Structure 1
């Protein structure tokens, strides 16, 4: 079984935890840290719930009794698993910040698993701009916690996927600014 690699980056009195891989065990730990108190009282919005990591987080959150919602451009899941019916799907686009507001109503925690590859500009847009829009919207709506599935930067392949890490770092900085120590 793979182990979750966690590295903490400190900035002043705040920290961001980055995960380079996630497992079922990691999902459980992430969700228990997100829960705070009782899972039934917490409504989680999973961004990227159609993706591999996001779908695993949705499934585990449902299993633990959380109220789970997710956002997609179509307003529905592209997956055909039975658990999908238990998620409240909202239509929206992270590149259009106003479209996030309805999905954030009543949400106590956001978990963003949004990321992507492509040209440097595309990677900055998806890993940076889209996630930064989500961070800002969540802060404006009074969401208590924002969890971001980022990536460990080992420096070896940065030049190949520079936009990927630029976007991730920019989002981490925005989380520190908007959520500080309440981010996790």
Structure 2
């Protein structure tokens, strides 16, 4: 049973946060292990499993990035160990960013670090805007019309993962005392 089914809500990149929270609290009360101490061991284990499932469901459904990953996995768009090929134009743009990062390895330049942070932030903002648009479209579409959107969402997901690694590298230069 997936988390959306468990919470009795439709699969969505943008579920209603209040509904998710209410369902979490209701199920937390319903499946609280303390209410089942006089039950059989099997029943206690079942309740413990349901309580654990409720906690995991809430952690995923209430966190945007975890939910994005979960929905993509749910629809089979992400596969473990997948070697996703990012588009050439994106890789070329990132090559320039990586070249600046390599230069910073040898010549620390705070101004370049700040410029690079701004450039990456602008790319991320653009991707976030596009991702929000696509995920909202996905939520409004019928199931048969969602496949093309999933592929576009997956592409942005991997671009954002790549940018996260870039941002982590930039942050090493932004805090030289930690090196």
Give the alignment's TM-score, normalised by structure 2: 0.27
If each structure's helix is expressed as a fraction of its own residues, which one has the higher value? 2
Give the alignment's TM-score, normalised by structure 1: 0.27
- Structure whose alpha-carbon radius of gyration is higher: 2
If each structure's strand is expressed as a fraction of its own residues, which one has the higher value? 1
